[in-house]
Amino acid sequence: MATQGEYLVQRTVEDVTRIKDLLYQLHDMIDRVAERGDALTGVLTGYVWPDGYTEAEFTSLIAVLKALPDSVVTTSARNAIFKLVAAIR
């Protein structure tokens, strides 16, 4: 039977591994949105935006997503995540 410390460390490793996986998924999704935004250039003519939302807001969102760094976490946080996951599996 695992000690409380072993249990807590293992659960933390599992959660951090999930965080790492979600960060990869988020990065990939942002890339896809940015690529789609590039493909939309010139094809939105005639698209009817819902009340309260404009094409300018949409293109601004795409620009903001494209400008995000490769990682949405700091380098030190990313390094700590990878070190924990690599050390304890």
Model confidence at 36, pLDDT cuts 50, 70, 90, reads confident
How far is 79 from 73, CA to CA, in rounded Å? 10
Q: Does some domain include residue 60?
A: yes
Tell me the pLDDT tens digit for each residue of 1-20.
779 898 999 999 999 889 88
Matching residue, tokens 């070190």: 83
Matching residue, tokens 């988020």: 26
Give yes or no for a contact between 5 and 73, defined as CB atoms under 8 angstroms apart: no
> Taking 80 as the threshold, does the pLDDT of residue 41 lie above it?
no
CA geometry: angle at 58 spanning 57 and 62, to 5°? 115
Q: Does some domain include residue 1?
A: no
Whether this prediction's pTM lies above 0.85 is answered by no
Q: Does some domain include residue 11?
A: no
Domains in the chain, number: 1
Q: What is the dihedral of CA 69, 73, 75, 80, to 10 degrees?
A: -150
The residue type of 62 is I
Tell me the pLDDT tens digit for each residue of 46-83.
889 999 999 889 889 888 888 877 666 777 887 888 78
Domain limits at 65? 23-87
